[in-house]
Structure formats: C-alpha cells, structure tokens
Structure 1
Amino acid sequence: MRHLLVPLAVVALAVGCTPDVAPTASPSVFVSPTASASPSVSPSPSPTAVESFPPAPATESAEQAAIRAAWMEYWRVYEKFAADPSLTDWTETQYVTTEEEAALIIQALGELRDNGWKSLGGRVFRGVAITEVPNQQEAGTAEISYCLDRSGVSLVDAETGTAVTVDVPPTFLETATLRVGLDGKWRVAMIRNEPAAC
C-alpha cells in the first residue's frame, strides 16, 4: 500500500492488500539491525524532519546496497514534497518511482495538500530486510520489508503550523517492491502495508 503518512489512510483503503503470491525458489534475505529514533534535546515550535534508517549489514552486496539506496531516496523525495506544499513540479517523484507507485506518490501528496496539511518528518524504519526475487518472471525485482514507525511524524496545518491529529495506527509492517529499469536504476514500484505492532 502506500507509505501511510497520516492523511494517506484514504489511499490505504483504496489500494488494499496485495494478493497472495507463491513463494520464490530461494530468496536471499538480509536483515539490518534495529534502529530507534534519537530523542530531541529540546522541544521546538517547528519540528524538523528526522528519518531514521538502520545501517546496512556488513554482508550486504553492491546490488543490495543499490536497492537500499533507491528505497531511501524514495523516502527522501516523498518527505521533501510532503513538507513543502509550494513544490509543484512532480518530476523528481518520477525519478524514484515506476509502475503504480509513480501515480500513487502524486495522489498521496495531493491528498495531503488537499487537506491543507504538511508532514515534518519523524519516520523511523526498523527491521529492514532486502529480498532479491530470483525467478525469471520477476527478474530485476526486489522487496524490502520493514517496520514503519510513524509515531514521531509531525503533521501540521500547512498555513498555521497547528498540529493536526488523525486516528491512524503508529506502526505498520510494510513491503516495498522495487524494479530495476533499463537504465540499471532501482525504483519503487509499489508499497503495501498493514497496521501492526512492530
């Protein structure tokens, strides 16, 4: 599903869950250590963006590092647009996405803006595992599974800066599917998630 910020619950309901997929032959899984967000030293009237990605495991291959980097770049771009409603050229979102996610990232950011909100970051990613899909039908496909903790996300009214409260679970188990393009670059093709304590 989407990377459920807070206002993206509508997208979550619209896209639904992924259908069951037969397991692949023998995927290679790489899990990175758990990371947690650092507490802020002092409260601030205008929170700053804090994304927390766990470090890559020492055993990560160059290809897995490229997959991880593409996923992290997706989140950097998403947060950039979520934090600044004045950005209107969506081109950068298309550099980090492909297939259905190319439209869904714009839809999600559009819904955020339609509500008059912006997000000031605060996502924490834990338990990141990269799986390259080895079968021929899915060549050039990888999945990244992780816990998305959005309890630290600061959602505010874009004009007043007043905090916005939306009833959305704080944590989700999420899977991002990435595909490699003809240019050799990995991009996010879809994101699916479900609320879960993680």
Structure 2
Amino acid sequence: MAVALGASLLVSGCSGERPSAPPPLDSSAPSQGSLAPSASLDAAAAVEAAYTQFWPRSAQTPHKPEDTWRDAIAAIAIEPQLSVTLEAMRRNKAAGFTTYGEVVVRITSVEVSGDTAKVVDCQDASRAGQADARTGDPKTVGVPRMPVTATMKRDQASGQWKVARLRFPGGAC
C-alpha cells in the first residue's frame, strides 16, 4: 500500500491516489467578514470541533460491525468523503487490516465562508496506523508532522459541520 499512514489510508483508500483537491469555496455565500464577529467565532469553533471529532470516530468505526459503518461515518462526513472513507474501510477489512492508536490534531487555521469551511492541520499521527486485524501487530505507523487540508460543509439536513473532503498534500508541516 502506497500511503504510509493508517489514518490517511483509512480515509483516502488503498489505491495510493491522493484525494483530489477540495472544491473551491462558494463565492456566492456570505464571507466570514459579513458575519457578526461572534457568529464567525462560533462557526469556526463548531468547524474545529467537528473536524477534531472526525479522527477518533473514523478510527473507531472499523472495530464495530460493518452494518453500522455507514451511519457512523455519515454522522461525521458527507459526500464525497463519506464514500471514500467507507470504501477504504472495506478494502482494509478485506486485506486483513484494522486501525490502532490515535491522531493528534494540530489545527493551524480555519476559514469559514457561509456553509463551507477550510481547515488546515499539521497532525501528529506518530502513534497511529494500521495493524493486522487478527493479531493486532502494527503494520504501519504515521508521521509526527503530516499536513492535512479538509473541506468542511454544513449538512443541510442537520445543520452540523461534517468533513466533505480530505487532502493529504504530502511533505511535512
């Protein structure tokens, strides 16, 4: 498998292809500057909380029955990331892999524009990765400074912020 980090493999699939770049922000949506300052801060805090929750919840889901995966991931992600994450989980299961450890999120910026937001993270995944599902033996380990860019969208049905797309540009941060 080409992706060295279990967490990124979980969300980006086994093909070694990186997810495509996040879609551009909707320029017709009100900008952060047009919101009241407290509304901007509240939205940014909600985006940050939703992004931060994505990592442990997506890492725990493969340890549960497969028929619960869609609902669990749909609570934290929307398309296209929902399908990308579910497919990666299915591939990992078929290959005999599971996840271990936890990713430490280190958000460097959050930009909110209407119902879309961009999160830039320099996460520490050095204590997380993939393990043999049968033995629990680690097979991969993440890196301490991995750049991640997330496009977040406010779910129109629930009003909750969810991960719409993750991008792993490579390199270190």
**Normalised TM-score (structure 2):** 0.74
- Distance in 2, matches of 1:13 and 1:76, equals 22
1:52-74 CA-to-partner distances (Å, cap 9, x unmatched) read xxxxxxxx822111111211222
1:158 is aligned to 133
2:68 is aligned to 89
RMSD after superposition: 3.1
- Cα displacement (A) at 1:106: 0.3
1:79-136 CA-to-partner distances (Å, cap 9, x unmatched) read 1124x15443121111111120110110121122122111112312224311112xxx
1:78 is aligned to 58
1:177 is aligned to 151
Identity %: 24
- Counterpart amino acid of residue 6 in structure 2: L
- Distance in 2, matches of 1:104 and 1:116, equals 18
Q: Which moved more, 1:99-108 or 1:145-154?
A: 145-154
Contact 1:169 1:195 in 2 (8 A): no
Contact 1:179 1:187 in 2 (8 A): yes
Note closer, same or farther for the CA distance 1:14–1:132 as it changes in structure 2 (3 Å cut).
Answer: same
Q: How do residues 1-198 of structure 1 correspond to structure 2 at under 5 angstroms? A: 4-5=5-6, 8=9, 10-11=13-14, 13-18=16-21, 61-82=41-62, 84=63, 86-90=65-69, 91-133=71-113, 139-165=114-140, 171-182=145-156, 183-198=158-173
- Cα displacement (A) at 1:21: 5.2
Note closer, same or farther for the CA distance 1:62–1:26 as it changes in structure 2 (3 Å cut).
Answer: closer
- Distance in 2, matches of 1:177 and 1:96, equals 13
Question: How many residues are matched?
Answer: 157
- Distance in 2, matches of 1:128 and 1:157, equals 33
5+ residue gaps in structure 1?
29-59, 134-138
1:3-30 CA-to-partner distances (Å, cap 9, x unmatched) read x5268275463344417959x79767xx
Note closer, same or farther for the CA distance 1:99–1:125 as it changes in structure 2 (3 Å cut).
Answer: same
- Counterpart amino acid of residue 187 in structure 1: K
2:36 is aligned to none
- Distance in 2, matches of 1:105 and 1:7, equals 10
Contact 2:56 2:102 in 1 (8 A): no
